[in-house]
Every structure is written in structure tokens, then in C-alpha cells.
């Protein structure tokens, strides 16, 4: 299996010679995204350069590509580069920077001509024409096969089918997601003109795992205008690379601005993502205590991901104001990359600051919800405060005030707070559903009055009912949190699980409140902006939104009276 990949990769214009490979170029509303990888020893940076030498705005994310390493024995870095532009990818070149600073420019689209998996002739009643097809991603996870690539079929494909052991599988064109491919159009010119949407993505559920023979010698039949052609697909990947790599590649083959793509999310995308991020995933955790609080008023759970220096600012703040003197503070390190550094910093901070705290280290990245759920299991108190690491309180009374709401009122479920940006404008004053014109059928979470001066808010600084609250800072009783099942792990990498929790608590017969007399700073990261981003994380947000709407759109409609056209 590996040998075959090597052979394929080492073909003409091989990455071995070039030092890089472009897996996919996809268009989005605000630009285009290039996904690929390069060898560590050839290059150290990738950028995009406009041919007219104007400055290009782009963002890059990199990840280790263990799959490339497995196939070639050389270390490679995967990249997802998103360029913000109205122009076509053909107006740009990729610039790779070598370790000594030398720069090389490469075409973004041209390599597609070399990626053709198969060419067959379509014998249509009126004429015969050549059909080119390429399979760029073939994922197999025992329950299904997931394909994406492109085909120059003039839009005439009827179905694809194959057999394995006793099972026959077929997918009709109505169940195949199609999309434009600027890179393919560019590479094939006139030949591609009759195919408006060469790109395809589909998933075939399996009755039973593939047989060994079916896996190794996989053949797919493609039916175009009634003619059947057989294509062999030598490279079927199993999803054993890093989940973050898999999810990025899958998201790139899913076009969220296309309504059909959103509608078929549950049959095409969700089952594959569920296997990458299984909902029953657990992981080992270890705990170190730096000081102890006996019989704490509540347990404060703070996940750490990426930036861990926030610990310093928070512990300094808690120590200065004494707000958590009698609370159990649990940091949950949800990022194996930082766990060693967190351990070292924690030791330092425990000497400098009086606030006792504990560090729970997770063996794997569990995501925001998963990390909180594990933190809750460690909580000694029967009351919880869930806090983001980038929240900084303003005084010493916030925690007591929030916990008092749970203590005083049996019917209160989730307690939230008024959160402010660093310039003291509103970051969160309670959430509400909203609709964006790009996704008219989806209810998303809005933060009304975001960025406003507090003085313009019509909400007085007092406790009020509020159904939806951000989990950046909430209080809830541990028993209620566990009764409703905690944060739902179906939401991938942290979106909507807070409003989902709030709605579950309402369903359990409680009411949620916001303490607008409690103000904390929340230094929300700009990357979470829902509208501007065009990359895979934004797609993941829409993925999570679809799950959220499957569950709650009706309930939200009742709660917020949306049927009457509020939005």
C-alpha cells in the first residue's frame, strides 16, 4: 500500500522534485483556499503573491502531515492558505521560501493536469467525448467511503457504483455534491468549459467493512449518459492522520455557501466527522494541586488551549482581589503541545501568587466541551463556574454574586455575566438567535450590542432572565450540569455547545439568568468572527450550526417568537 503511494507521488512533476504538492484549490465567498504540503527540508514558509505585484492579504495555518511522512519517509508540513481577494487564483502564484531565504514561485493551478486518475471515452448516442476524472481524497473509516475530486463530465454523470463481496453500492447524482473548481477550469481551458461544476464530494455508507481485496483493488464504476466506465482507485486513505488534518481536508471539499451542500451535511459530512471526533471519546487526565481549598464555595473550571500565559494574568488577578479565595480553581490543559510549559509556569506562579489552583492535564486535545466535561468530573464542589482563560475579572465580588443566584433560587439553571472587551465596550450581554443572508435556514448565535458603550445598552445593571448565555463565564450546579449531560461532544472544536447547554437546562424546567451587575473583561479572539472568515474553521462553525439547528430550531422559534419575522 505504501509503496503504491510512493510510486504515485514520485511520478513526473513529483513533489520529490518540486518539494511541494497542492492538494486542493477551493473558492469561497471572499477569496480562495489552497491546501497542500511541502517538505520540511525544502521550504520553511509559503506565501501567495499577486502577479500584478499588489500586496496580497492572506492567512496561513500549518500542521504536520504524518500521512506524507508515512508515505515518503520525509517530514512534511501541511498548509491551508486562505487568500482574501476578488480575483481568480490564476492571478496569483505560490511563493515558497527556502531555509536560506531563497524564494521560488509556482503556479497555483497548473499541477492539476498531472492529477488525472483516469480518462475514459463516453459513448453518448450523438457523439463521443473524453471524460477525465481525478480522485483527490478517498477516505475509508469502516462505516463509509468518502470521496472528493473532479470530473469533466459536462454535467452528465448519472451515478457511481461498486461491488464488494455480496454488497452492491450505488450513489445517484442527486446525492453527489458538485462545485466549481477554478484550478481545474484554469488547467483545462476549453475542455472544461462544458462542465460548470467539475468538483464532487460524496459519501457511500457501507453495510459492512470492505474486504481486503476490495480495499486493495478498489474499483469504482462511473456512469455517464448511460455508459459505464470503470476506474481503479489505488490510494484509499484511512483516517489515521491527525484529526485536525482530516477535518481541514474534509471541510475544504464542502461548500457551505451552496444550499445543497448544507442540506446534505447530515448524510455526507456528519458521519465522517463523527468518526474523526467520536462523541464517546475519552482520554487520560492527570491532576497536580498547587495548594488546596477545603470545602470550596464552587469549583472554577478553566480550559487552556494554545495560549497558556493567560494563567499568569488570571492568577495574578484572583490573588489581588481575593475573588476565588475560597474556590477550587481547576485549569484543564486541553493541548498536549503546551502541557510541559504549563507545568513549568504553574510551579512558578504557585510561588508568586497566593491563589491555590490545580492543573489537570489531558493526554489528548478534547475540544472546549470535552475539556470542561472532564474538568467537571474533578470538581470537588457541587457548584461550578465555567470560565474562559481570556476572561479577566474587574473585582473581588463577581464569583460570589453569580453563585448566590444558584443558592437563592432553586429554579435558576445557568447564570451568566456581562462581559466587556478591553476597551470596556460590550462583548456579551446575553445571546440571541440571528440569521445571516448567506445561510437563511440557519439560526446562529448573535451577541446583541457587541462593541457598544455600556451606557447605550437598554438593559439595566441587574439580574434578569436570559435564555442563551456564552460559556465564557457561567455558573451552574454540578448536578444539573451532569443531569443534562454536560457539553455535547457532537459540536466539534467549540461552537454552540454553550447555547445547546442553555437550551437543555431550559428543557429541564429551569430558567437562565444574566447578572448584568457583574462585569468581567473578555478578550475574545478575533478569529472567532463568524462573518469575515473564509477558512475551514468558519466551515466548522456552520457544521456545528447545522447540528444545533437540527436539535433546537423549533425550540428557539418558540422562545424568541421567530415565526413572526423578527429577523
Tell me which residues touch another protein (CB under 8 A): 310, 312-313, 316-317, 319-320, 347-348, 351-353, 390, 392, 422-423, 521, 523
Residue 355: CA count within 13 A, CB half-sphere: 27
Instruction: Provide the edge-to-edge strand list for the sheet that holds 157-164.
Output: 167-172, 157-164, 219-224, 227-232
| Pick from 354, 353, 407: nearest CA to 385 | 407
Mark residue 184 as left, alpha or beta (left: phi above 0; alpha: psi -120 to 50; beta: remaining).
alpha
CA 451 – CA 456 distance, rounded (Å):
11
Tell me which H or E stretch contains 362.
Answer: strand 357-362
Asked if residue 163 lies in contact with residue 220, where contact means CB atoms within 8 angstroms, the answer is: no
* CA atoms of 374 and 259, how far apart (whole Å): 36
How many whole angstroms separate alpha carbon 540 and alpha carbon 557?
23
Check if the beta carbon of residue 179 is closer than 8 Å to that of residue 197: yes
In degrees, to the nearest 5, what angle opens at C-alpha 562 toward C-alphas 558 and 566?
150
Which 3-state string (H, E, C) describes 298-345?
A: CEEEEEECCCCCHHHHHHHHHHHHCCCCCCEEEEEECCHHHHHHHHHH
Dihedral sign for Cα atoms in the order 548, 554, 559, 560? positive
Evaluate whether 288 touches 349 at the Cβ level (below 8 Å).
no
> Are 272 and 139 a contacting pair, CB within 8 Å?
yes
State the Cα–Cα distance between residues 492 and 513, nearest whole angstrom.
26
Please name the residues in contact with 49: beta carbons below 8 A apart, sequence gap of 6 or more: 56, 92, 93, 94, 95, 105
Which is closer to another protein, CB of 245 or CB of 392?
Answer: 392
Residue 187: helix, strand or coil by DSSP? helix
Helices 243-252 & 536-560 angle (0-180, nearest 10):
80
CB hemisphere CA count around 137 (13 angstroms): 27
- Candidates 230, 53, 56; CA nearest to 131 is 230
71's grid cell: 508515505
Amino acid at each position: 500500500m505504501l509503496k503504491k503511494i510512493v510510486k504515485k507521488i514520485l511520478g513526473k512533476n513529483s513533489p520529490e522534485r518540486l518539494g511541494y504538492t497542492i492538494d486542493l484549490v477551493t473558492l469561497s465567498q471572499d477569496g480562495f483556499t489552497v491546501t497542500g504540503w511541502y517538505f520540511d527540508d525544502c521550504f520553511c514558509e509559503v506565501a501567495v503573491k499577486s502577479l500584478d505585484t499588489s500586496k496580497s492579504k492572506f492567512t496561513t495555518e500549518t500542521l504536520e502531515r504524518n500521512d506524507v511522512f508515512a508515505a515518503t519517509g520525509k517530514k512534511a508540513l501541511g498548509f491551508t492558505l486562505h487568500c482574501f481577494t476578488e480575483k481568480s487564483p490564476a492571478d496569483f502564484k505560490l511563493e515558497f521560501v527556502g531555509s536560506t531565504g531563497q524564494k521560488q514561485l509556482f503556479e497555483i493551478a497548473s499541477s492539476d493536469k498531472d492529477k488525472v486518475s483516469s480518462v475514459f471515452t463516453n459513448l453518448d448516442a450523438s457523439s463521443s467525448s473524453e471524460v477525465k476524472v481525478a480522485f483527490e481524497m478517498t477516505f475509508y473509516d469502516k462505516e463509509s467511503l468518502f470521496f472528493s475530486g473532479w470530473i469533466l463530465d459536462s454535467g452528465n454523470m448519472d451515478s457511481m457504483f461498486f461491488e464488494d463481496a455480496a454488497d452492491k453500492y450505488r450513489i445517484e447524482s442527486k446525492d453527489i455534491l458538485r462545485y466549481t473548481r477554478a484550478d481545474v477550469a484554469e488547467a483545462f481551458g476549453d475542455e472544461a468549459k462544458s462542465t460548470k461544476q467539475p468538483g464532487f464530494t460524496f459519501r457511500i455508507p457501507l453495510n459492512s467493512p470492505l474486504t481486503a481485496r476490495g480495499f486493495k483493488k478498489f474499483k469504482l464504476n462511473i456512469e455517464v449518459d448511460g455508459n459505464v466506465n470503470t476506474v481503479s482507485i489505488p490510494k484509499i486513505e484511512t483516517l489515521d492522520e491527525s484529526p485536525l488534518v482530516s477535518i481541514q481536508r474534509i471541510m475544504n471539499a464542502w461548500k457551505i455557501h451552496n444550499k445543497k451542500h448544507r442540506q446534505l451535511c447530515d448524510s455526507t459530512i456528519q458521519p465522517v466527522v463523527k468518526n474523526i471526533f467520536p462523541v464517546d471519546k475519552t482520554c487520560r487526565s492527570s491532576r497536580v494541586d498547587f495548594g488546596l481549598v477545603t470545602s470550596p464555595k464552587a469549583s472554577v473550571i478553566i480550559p487552556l488551549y494554545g495560549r497558556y500565559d493567560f494563567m499568569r494574568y488570571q492568577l495574578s488577578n484572583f490573588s489581588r482581589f481575593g475573588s476565588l479565595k475560597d474556590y477550587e480553581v481547576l485549569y484543564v490543559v486541553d493541548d498536549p503541545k503546551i502541557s510541559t510549559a504549563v507545568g513549568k509556569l504553574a510551579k512558578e506562579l504557585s510561588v508568586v501568587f497566593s491563589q491555590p489552583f490545580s492543573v489537570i492535564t489531558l493526554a489528548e486535545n478534547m475540544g472546549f466541551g470535552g475539556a470542561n466535561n472532564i474538568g467537571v468530573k474533578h470538581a470537588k464542589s457541587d457548584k461550578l463556574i465555567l470560565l474562559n482563560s481570556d476572561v479577566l475579572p474587574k473585582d473581588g465580588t463577581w464569583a460570589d454574586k453569580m453563585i448566590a443566584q444558584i443558592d437563592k433560587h432553586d429554579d435558576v439553571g445557568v447564570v451568566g455575566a456581562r462581559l466587556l472587551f478591553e476597551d470596556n465596550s460590550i462583548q456579551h450581554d446575553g445571546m440571541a438567535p440571528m440569521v445571516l443572508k448567506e445561510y437563511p435556514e440557519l439560526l446562529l448565535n448573535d451577541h446583541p450590542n457587541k462593541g457598544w458603550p455600556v451606557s447605550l445598552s437598554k438593559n439595566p445593571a441587574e439580574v434578569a432572565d436570559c435564555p442563551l448565555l456564552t460559556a465564557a463565564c457561567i455558573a451552574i450546579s454540578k448536578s444539573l450540569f451532569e443531569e443534562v449531560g454536560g457539553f455535547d461532544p457532537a459540536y466539534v472544536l467549540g461552537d454552540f455547545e454553550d447555547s445547546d447547554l442553555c437550551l437543555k437546562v431550559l428543557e429541564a424546567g429551569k430558567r437562565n439568568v444574566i447578572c448584568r451587575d457583574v462585569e468581567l473583561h473578555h478578550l475574545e479572539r478575533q478569529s472567532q468572527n463568524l462573518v469575515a472568515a473564509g477558512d475551514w474553521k468558519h466551515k466548522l462553525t456552520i457544521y456545528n450550526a447545522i447540528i444545533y439547528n437540527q436539535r433546537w430550531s423549533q425550540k428557539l422559534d418558540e422562545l424568541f417568537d421567530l415565526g413572526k419575522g423578527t429577523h
